């Protein structure tokens, strides 16, 4: 691992299109962290490899690794080496920020293996997230690209995709001293309080005037090269001009322009507990048993 024994490794997650890139960018302006780096695809690929091999472990791997824990050790040794190599590239900073939405579902397991690791989960209005996911799907379909987004065929499927990212919340009690939730809307409107919470969690030191703006010298990634991104049809669909602008509330409530009323209604009903818990909409008053049964059945599905 890092030569810096007091180093804090922090993973940033949340649903795709929930603002994880912009917030990760802001966090990487810290005086004592790495600059902004692209998503941790290596971690994502390793976990895919790990999960896939577990499904057919006896047939594919048992004769080579024996007990499954030996295979798990191999995977986590690779993860440690990954952290070490990235850390060394940036002179072993006090805080290392990594980000990938798809790693969010593995936060609990990672917490077992890395006892000092910290976690930040970004939450954004499901209606805005799903609206943005649909925009990506349309762009991919236009380019005849098959992607996880184009495979989603109904609003209900988009809801299921959204809530999957937040399965980590079932372990909130276990992770309560090591994980914080940040609402995208709060961070965009006034990041001061959120940055203070990140400092308390990780020790990262922020200058608000720097964190709230895009600074090319605080990034070491081609992820913010618009021309390069737009030249790649897959990546182009995810591009947002907000990546290279100051923090903005511009996209808050964007779903109102992009979603139909019936689509919004489905999202609010399907994700009723999640949305109301975070104050995105109010939970309806249940007037009779028929309505209550219907609402309860929807919640169980999500």
pLDDT of residue 283: 84
Q: How far are the Cα atoms of 142, 189, 234 from residue 136, in angstroms, in the given order?
A: 10, 25, 9
Q: What is the residue whose two structure tokens read 């990594």?
A: 98
CB 154 within 8 A of CB 47: no
pLDDT of residue 4: 72
Return the HEC string of the chain: CCCCCCCEEEEEEECCCCCHHHHHHHHCCCCCECCECCCCHHHHHHHHHHHHHHHCHHHHCHHHHCCHHHHHHHHHHHHHHHHHHHHHHCCCCCEEEEECHHHHHHHHHHHHHCCCCEEEEEECCHHHHHHHHHHHHHHHHHCCCCCCCCCCCCHHHHHHHHHHHHHHHHHCCCCCCCEEEEEHHHHHHCCHHHHHHHHHHHCCCCCHHHHCCCCHHHECCHHHCHHHHHCCHHHHCCCCHHHHCCCCCCCCCCHHHHCCHHHHHHHHHHCHHHHHHCCCCCCCCCCCHHHHHHHHHHHHHC
Q: What's the pLDDT tens digit per position in 103-113?
A: 999 999 999 99
pLDDT of residue 21: 97
CA atoms within 13 A on the CB side of 163: 18
pLDDT of residue 288: 44
pLDDT of residue 78: 97
Residues of the chain with pLDDT under 50: 288-302
pTM, whole model, 2 decimals? Answer: 0.91
**Could you say which of 3.30.160.250, 3.90.1150.10, 3.40.50.300, 3.30.1370.60 is the CATH number of the domain covering 8-125+165-251?**
3.40.50.300
Q: What's the pLDDT tens digit per position in 64-93?
A: 999 999 999 999 999 999 999 999 999 999
Closest to 36 (Cα-Cα) out of 266, 218, 268: 218
CA angle (292 as vertex; 291, 296 as ends), nearest 5: 120
Cα-only R_g, the chain: 20
pLDDT of residue 23: 98
CB 217 within 8 A of CB 276: no
Domain ranges of the chain: 8-125+165-251
Q: Which residues have C-beta within 8 Å of that of residue 75, sequence separation ≥ 6?
A: 46, 49, 50
- Cα separation of the two ends of the chain: 39
Residue 276 and residue 148: Cα distance in Å, rounded? 27
């Amino acid at each position: 691992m890092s030569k810096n024994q007091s180093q804090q490794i922090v993973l940033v997650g949340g649903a795709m299109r929930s603002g994880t890139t912009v917030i990760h960018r802001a966090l990487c302006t810290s005086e004592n962290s790495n600059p902004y780096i692209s998503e941790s695809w290596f971690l994502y690929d390793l976990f895919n490899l790990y999960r896939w091999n577990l499904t057919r472990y006896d047939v594919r791997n048992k004769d080579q690794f024996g007990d499954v824990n030996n295979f798990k050790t191999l995977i986590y040794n690779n993860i440690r080496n990954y952290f070490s190599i990235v850390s060394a590239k940036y002179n072993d900073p006090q805080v290392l920020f990594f980000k990938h939405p798809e790693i969010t579902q593995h936060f609990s397991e990672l917490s077992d293996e890395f006892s000092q690791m910290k976690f930040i989960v970004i939450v954004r209005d499901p209606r805005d997230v799903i609206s943005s996911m649909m925009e990506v799907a349309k762009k991919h379909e236009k380019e005849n690209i098959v992607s996880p987004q184009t495979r989603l065929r109904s609003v209900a499927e988009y809801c299921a995709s959204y809530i999957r990212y937040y399965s980590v919340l079932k372990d909130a009690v276990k992770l309560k001293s090591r994980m914080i939730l940040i609402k995208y809307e709060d961070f965009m409107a006034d990041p001061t309080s959120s940055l203070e919470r990140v400092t308390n969690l990780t020790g990262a030191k922020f200058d608000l005037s720097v964190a709230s703006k895009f600074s090319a010298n605080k990034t070491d990634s081609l992820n913010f090269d618009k021309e390069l991104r737009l030249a790649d049809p897959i990546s182009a669909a995810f591009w947002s001009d907000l990546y290279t602008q100051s923090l903005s509330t511009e996209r808050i409530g964007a779903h109102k322009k992009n979603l139909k009323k019936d689509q919004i209604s489905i999202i609010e009903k399907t994700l009723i507990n999640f949305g109301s818990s975070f104050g995105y909409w109010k939970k309806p008053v249940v007037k009779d048993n028929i309505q209550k049964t219907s609402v309860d059945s929807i919640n169980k599905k999500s």
